[in-house]
Amino acid sequence: MDGRRHVLIRTLAAVVGARLAAAGQMVTVAESCTGGLLAAALTDVPGSSAWFGYGFVTYVAEAKHKLLGVAWERLDSKAIVSEATALSMARGALGVSGADIAIGVTGIAGPTGGTPECPVGTVVIGWVADGWEYAETHRFTGDRSAVRAQAVVAALNGLQGWLGPAFPG
């Protein structure tokens, strides 16, 4: 990961952490292609145990099903990288953890595994909170490390969006 992206991730994680702490809210994550990088970014922030309690790395379909309760139908090779799967992962993590918001990340970081319909660099992120769900599909570029880092940035930006304007008024 390049230095600028690393600084951006650290900054975003610190900002969302401070905002979660101030609001007394907890976040949980369910990751596949990012392999724990999102959880690592969040827990790199001092005091993160006040707002981060659970993280799931569910790299294979079986883990998504067993740990998060994602339906097997969502886990076939054509549906596993989808908004429905990302949201199902987030819902499962939310249910297990009791957090206020959950983030689900699934995708293809590469360098292999892509298809014409779902090329390398495709990452889907879902955010779920009580009564609210949102998902985005991204097409990131670069090598495996760059794709994963871009996914973490997008996930943190989405979390920041859920938290609302930092400076209302």
The pTM score is 0.96
Q: In this predicted structure, what is the pLDDT of residue 1?
A: 65
Mean pLDDT of the chain: 95
CATH architecture of residue range(s) 3-163:
Alpha-Beta Complex (3.90)
pLDDT band at 166 (very low <50, low <70, confident <90, very high): low
- What percent of the chain shows pLDDT beyond 70? 97
What is the helix (H) or strand (E) element at residue 3, kind and residue range?
helix 3-23
What residue spans define the domains of the chain? 3-163
List CB contacts of 18: < 8 A, sequence separation 6 or more.
none
Instruction: Name the least confident of 34-38, 53-57, 112-116.
Output: 112-116
